[in-house]
A and B are shown apart, each in its own frame.
Chain A
């Protein structure tokens, strides 16, 4: 009869292990790996590692196909302390998966190392109804909606570009929206800045916008930032967000946001308009160009209106 110790030793011979820091590096580098949490659903719900799928140990052989399309897909398994997942990883190797790694020390070691953990609150009935159109999209589904609810997006500017962006992100259920703008609502804004209303003329755009967003979707946690972004506050502010949307209205800010996002590794969704023309691109650090690659120098003052 084999002992548990022997089974684990056997598994260790064919399953490599990596510590939390190494696995985090692989995830951050964008490696297309399948991260699987083999604990029970209630353990997963209490806290898990992004972007893990929960396939509990008992269902592993039956559901792994959905998470890992072919035998060469890199897979990383974890459980609470690294033992259940070690045995699970051996099973996957026996099934023919070639690239299976066990997270050494499991979720416990990950959390103790101070690495980020995610926690989902189950969606209530109203949310299920509200986002039902997302659930119908195979590319989104419930998992995608949870991801949106966990996401944090920073909007620089609550004006012409920030307005529709704020409204659509809020409607979609982006869980945290930072709204940054130092201006007040002017009646001339209302021709296009649909985040604001006539009743709010004279009020801070951030106050007005926050109210509108909360009325549209109370799930959204709005972080009001009723001030201009400056070289002194930018790095602290962008730090906590997953994505930055630059809808600012002057070149100084554009270049500041570009530099700050690049230095902080934040993706900057960049949009701009002039009269009947609009432009959009995504400035992703080291994946594509930055604003300075496109426009090394700003136009002479007065040539292009802000």
Chain B
């Protein structure tokens, strides 16, 4: 990314299964209805993060934009870091 070489994971999700020793790739697409980056954004500043509760994350959406079938059991949101 910094050098501008290679193919960064833009629009791709790379998953790694350390037990199965397997890498998988899932194609990702932008969601035109995305409240932040879609065609009619409703989030234009960080105000919703000030509400102090989980409402900041609770925006009505319409499910996954991943176009490939999710590998069973692995495509849940993970927060671990």
Binding site for B on A (CB under 8 A): 139-140, 144, 147-148, 151, 153, 157, 159-162, 174, 231, 234-235, 242-243, 246-252, 254-256, 258-260, 262-263, 267, 269, 271-274, 276-290, 292-299, 301, 304-306
**CB-defined contacts of B38 to chain A, threshold 8 Å:** 293
**CB-defined contacts of B60 to chain A, threshold 8 Å:** 296-297
User: With the chains together, A274 CA to B19 CA distance in Å?
Assistant: 12
Judge whether A288 and B11 touch: CB under 8 Å: yes
Q: How far is the CB of B32 from chain A (nearest CB, A)?
A: 9
Majority-rule SS of B interface residues:
loop
Instruction: Return the CB mask of B18-58 against A: 1 if under 8 Å, else 0.
Output: 11000000001111001111100001111001100010111
**CB-defined contacts of A281 to chain B, threshold 8 Å:** 9-10, 12-14, 28
Q: How far is the CB of B61 from chain A (nearest CB, A)?
A: 2
| A280/B14 contact (C-beta < 8 A), A147-B2, A234-B46, A305-B79 known | yes
19 other A-B residue contacts (CB within 8 Å) besides A273-B81, A299-B76: A148-B2, A157-B81, A243-B1, A252-B57, A254-B79, A260-B46, A269-B1, A277-B78, A281-B10, A281-B14, A289-B37, A290-B34, A290-B37, A292-B36, A293-B65, A294-B65, A296-B31, A297-B59, A301-B54
| A249/B81 contact (C-beta < 8 A), A148-B3, A259-B43, A296-B63 known | yes
**CB-defined contacts of B16 to chain A, threshold 8 Å:** 277-280
| A295/B79 contact (C-beta < 8 A), A139-B5, A290-B34 known | no
User: With the chains together, A297 CA to B6 CA distance in Å?
Assistant: 32
The residue in chain B whose Cβ has the minimal distance to the Cβ of A145 is B3
Could you say which of A262, A273, A278 has the most chain B C-beta atoms within 10 Å of its C-beta?
A: A278
**CB-defined contacts of A247 to chain B, threshold 8 Å:** 81
Among B12, B56, B78, the residue within 8 A (CB) of A274 is B78
Top 3 nearest A-B pairs by Cβ distance?
A296-B61, A293-B31, A288-B10
User: With the chains together, A292 CA to B57 CA distance in Å?
Assistant: 9
Judge whether A267 and B1 touch: CB under 8 Å: yes
The residue in chain B whose Cβ has the minimal distance to the Cβ of A143 is B3
Judge whether A289 and B79 touch: CB under 8 Å: no
User: With the chains together, A251 CA to B36 CA distance in Å?
Assistant: 16
**CB-defined contacts of B74 to chain A, threshold 8 Å:** 277
Judge whether A304 and B37 touch: CB under 8 Å: no
| A305/B80 contact (C-beta < 8 A), A147-B3, A289-B11 known | yes
The residue in chain B whose Cβ has the minimal distance to the Cβ of A249 is B81
Judge whether B79 and A250 touch: CB under 8 Å: yes
The residue in chain B whose Cβ has the minimal distance to the Cβ of A283 is B10
Q: Does B68 contact A (CB under 8 A)?
A: no
Among B10, B54, B56, B81, the residue within 8 A (CB) of A160 is B81
User: With the chains together, A193 CA to B34 CA distance in Å?
Assistant: 34
